[in-house]
Amino acid sequence: MHHAYLDKYADGDSFFHHLDSRVKFLAAVVYTILVLSLPRDHPAVVVCYAVAPFAVLVWAGIPLWFVLRRILMVSPFVLVLALSCPLYDKTPYPVVFGKISFWLTGGWLRCFTILAKFVVTMLTLFALVGTTRFADLLAGLQWMRFPDVLVMQLGFLYRYLFVLVDQVHHILLARSARKFHPLGFRREMKIAAAMTGSLFIRSIETSQRIHIAMQSRGFTGTFHSLRHTRIVLRDIIFLLGFLAVCVLLHGWVRHIFM
């Protein structure tokens, strides 16, 4: 089976690929907080913040269609939230683009801001995972004293999500092979429930076998790691550049638009 790996391009050779995962993670978190803290009725300001992650993706050679497709995949959840805004805030606001001016309700402005913040934070996230191997990211989190259980869970999620997706494909294939015509909503729901239950049971059995495999190799609850990463000049240059971009955006762009 073929899967759409999140870190498919993480083995690249760009400047950003060689940065320490901790530095990239911290930069992504700070940038996300900056974007989320922007005022809720200024979508134009938020759009300016897209420049930095966009530049990183282009420089790192990560195809934009790859990122945009994944953003579209998760967008329905945010779309529902954003599109509900115009329903409850009808306060009119003037919008001016040079000589063009028109009125929009506060709800629509908030809707655009939410969508813009979503796209910018997702671009930031993809700039991080697109240039960092997941294993390095986990090692960075472990170094930063994130709870072991959380790091372990993320590692298992990444490792076994693909196995689970394979099982889903096999179950769907088996169903298709024996289903010759539509069975009606109730039958289909019943079959879907049985398939989901079967997946749950398989997952529990798999977790039991993994636990045995871990115990057989001496695991007693603590993860040990061999990784010893170092912050080098490249990382410091990136951090200084990142700080400069943040100051520029936070001061200059806000000053112009607000």
Partner 1 sequence: MNFAVEIQNFSYSWPDGTKALRQINLTIEHGQKVVLVGPNGAGKSTLLLAMGGFVRGTGKILIDGIEVCPANVKKIRMLLGCCMENPDDQLFMPTLYEDVAFGPLNMGLGAEEVKRRVEDSLRKVGLEAMAHKTPHHLSAGQKRAAAVATVLSMSPKIITFDEPDGGLDPRNRNNLVRLLRELSQTLIIATCDMRFAAAVADRAVVMDNSCIVADGPVAEIFYNGELMASHGLETP
The residues binding partner 1 (CB under 8 A) are 3, 133-135, 138, 155-156, 158-160, 162-163, 206, 209-210, 212-220, 224-226, 228
| Closest to partner 1 by CB, 175 or 202 | 202
**Which residue is associated with the tokens 């993670």?**
25
**Amino acid letter for position 159:** R
| Closest to partner 1 by CB, 213 or 236 | 213
In the complex, minimum distance from the CB of residue 142 to partner 1, in angstroms, rounded to a whole number: 11
In the complex, minimum distance from the CB of residue 229 to partner 1, in angstroms, rounded to a whole number: 14
Task: Please name the residues in contact with 191: beta carbons below 8 A apart, sequence gap of 6 or more.
Answer: 175, 183
Spatial distance between the Cα atoms of 20 and 136, rounded to a whole number of angstroms: 8
| Closest to partner 1 by CB, 166 or 188 | 166
| Closest to partner 1 by CB, 100 or 226 | 226
In the complex, minimum distance from the CB of residue 160 to partner 1, in angstroms, rounded to a whole number: 8
In the complex, minimum distance from the CB of residue 20 to partner 1, in angstroms, rounded to a whole number: 16
Spatial distance between the Cα atoms of 133 and 205, rounded to a whole number of angstroms: 29
| Closest to partner 1 by CB, 212 or 232 | 212
| Closest to partner 1 by CB, 129 or 253 | 129
In the complex, minimum distance from the CB of residue 54 to partner 1, in angstroms, rounded to a whole number: 28
| Closest to partner 1 by CB, 161 or 237 | 161
In the complex, minimum distance from the CB of residue 228 to partner 1, in angstroms, rounded to a whole number: 8
Spatial distance between the Cα atoms of 55 and 71, rounded to a whole number of angstroms: 17
Spatial distance between the Cα atoms of 180 and 189, rounded to a whole number of angstroms: 17
Picking from 249, 7, 3, the residue whose alpha carbon sits closest to that of residue 127 is: 7
In the complex, minimum distance from the CB of residue 14 to partner 1, in angstroms, rounded to a whole number: 18
